[in-house]
Amino acid sequence: MLQRREEAIHVRDRAKRALFPLRRVPAEIILEVTEYARDDEQATDANGILWVMGKVCGSWREIILGTPSLWTNVFVDLSSSASDYKKDLVVLRAWLDRSKDLPLNVRVRTTKRSPRAPSNQMVNEFLRVFVEHCKRWQSAHFNLGLVPEHWLALSQIKGQLPMLQRLHLDGYLGPHDTFQIAPMLQSVSLGHFQHLSSFDLPSEITHFTVDSFSLQCAGLQYLSRYSRLIELAVNDSSSFKTPSIVARPDGNDQLLVTFPQLQKLHFTFKEWGRRDIKEVLATKLVLPTSLEHVEVSKLSYFGDLVARHQCSFSSLTINHPYYISPNIPVPSVKEVLTVLRPLSLLTTLSLHRLHDLGDYLVLIEELIIRNYESPPSFLPHLKHLTFSIGDDEDSWHFSTNFHDLEFHSSEVFDMLRSRWNVPAELIGPHRLESFVYTMNLHEEKVPALGSAEMTQFDVLRRQGMRVEFNFVEFEGKPTSEDDDGSYEIKRWRSDVWSPF
């Protein structure tokens, strides 16, 4: 009996010694590990990192339970809840209780194409739990699909959002005035709205992103409600077929929209050959002198806007369309130069998703070589140039044109190696400080940069320029045109020369 007792004591002491190092881990490290590991953790998962770490030992449990900030990010994917979702509701309530009275970051979604579409009853039961804490919402992100019944529970939050600062709604079909009273709301992102013109938001918002939006007069008139905008992003994908909207008998022919405090402007267009968009941008929109950054997807639409205003912004990004069509000509160098030439204060220029470079080789050469003249004769203040061939998001869209793309990519690479060996004395005070070149490859060998190439670029390195080359090799193909996945990245390599 005594021997068994001694053995039991020995086992207990050995277990204590095994746990002792865990108990000695500083609370700061435990919290840092937890913060790092809990990204996208579902608040309904009883086996999630927060719950598991709280079971390691008493001291860890005390730390995690005593830190309400760990429980303030509340993410729920309703498509992953089973038919017996009542258990998930219990876990969600416990999660919210542990956040105490701190502001909450709420995110609720239903996964697209899910074989287990949530029932209306389940969605509304989950939403009612969130609504109980709506006065603590600091940010709210809801993607519930185009089902009106899914949004019913949110109608109860009107006038009860004193802390809400950021809002994202995708496919919202609830009452138009639900978010009208939110005194702290600053940033709003809206997607797939069917009746946006009747949707009411606080006029004091400063950041506004809207998808599937029409740049008709009615659309601009809606945007004009928010005169305090600092950043505006519009994805225009309407199918408005009227050839011109400048002279329409709707009382809006004299409409001028201005945002006096606007600093960043983003325009993405999915319709082509749209004269109405060009006329709207050129005649209806007034750019303020405070504008710093512009991002567009259709250069010709932007040119008239630049020509009409004395644009003083310093950063321009041009994102070309995701797909290639023979009916959509690539802008010529002359067209690009016409737009860029008035931008004398431009310091940062980015050209992305160049599917078929064509004369862009000449443009890139102009931007690089002319910048070394003293004084520079074109874009004299340009400091940072970035351009990418291909698309790092939906690369398969242009896979049929890949051989032409690869030819041009090689040509660019040869041009850079042969023409960049510029004598140091020709480099003026306004030289480029950074150059980033990204080439996406599909089932091709990633090119190697040897000592000869490094020698060619050595003059740039000595002059203090950061030169970065990114090569991405993809493999595999989507199963169909409806596949929403990109190619799997097989290899990524980045070659960087920098004095820092």
pLDDT in tens, 305-339: 666 666 678 888 877 654 444 455 556 666 777 77
- 123-127 contacts at long range (C-beta below 8 A, 24 or more positions apart): 123/78, 123/147, 123/149, 123/150, 123/153, 124/149, 124/150, 124/152, 124/153, 125/85, 125/89, 126/76, 126/78, 126/81, 126/85, 126/89, 126/92, 127/153, 127/154
Structural domain span for residue 379: 314-500
- Taking the complete model, does pTM exceed 0.75, yes or no? no
Residue 29 lies in a domain: yes
Token pair of 4 as six digits:
């068994």
Residue 243 lies in a domain: no
pLDDT in tens, 34-82: 666 566 678 888 888 788 777 777 777 888 888 888 889 999 988 877 6
Return mean pLDDT, the chain.
68
pLDDT in tens, 435-474: 555 554 444 444 444 444 444 455 555 555 555 555 444 4
Residue 457 lies in a domain: yes
Which residues fall within 8 angstroms of residue 480, CB to CB, at 6 or more apart?
A: none
pLDDT in tens, 229-258: 999 988 765 543 333 233 333 445 567 788
Q: What is the pLDDT of residue 372?
A: 56
Identity of residue 105: N
Higher pLDDT, 185 or 113: 185
* Four-CA torsion 219, 220, 223, 228, nearest 10 degrees: 170
Residue 388 lies in a domain: yes
Q: What is the pLDDT of residue 494?
A: 45
Residue 59 lies in a domain: yes
Q: Which of 180, 142, 176 is nearest to 161 (CA)?
A: 180
Residue ending a domain, choose from 10, 43, 71: 71
Residue 15 lies in a domain: no
Q: How many domains does the chain divide into? A: 2
Q: Which of 463, 385, 378 is nearest to 424 (CA)?
A: 463
Residue 204 lies in a domain: no
Across 5-14, 112-121, 475-484, least confident range:
475-484
Residue ending a domain, choose from 71, 98, 113: 71
- The Cα-based distances of 469 to 353, 427, 436, 437, 446 in angstroms read 16, 22, 6, 5, 12
Residue 304 lies in a domain: no
Token pair of 253 as six digits:
């022919």
Across 315-329, 349-363, 406-420, least confident range:
406-420
Q: What is the pLDDT of residue 163?
A: 96
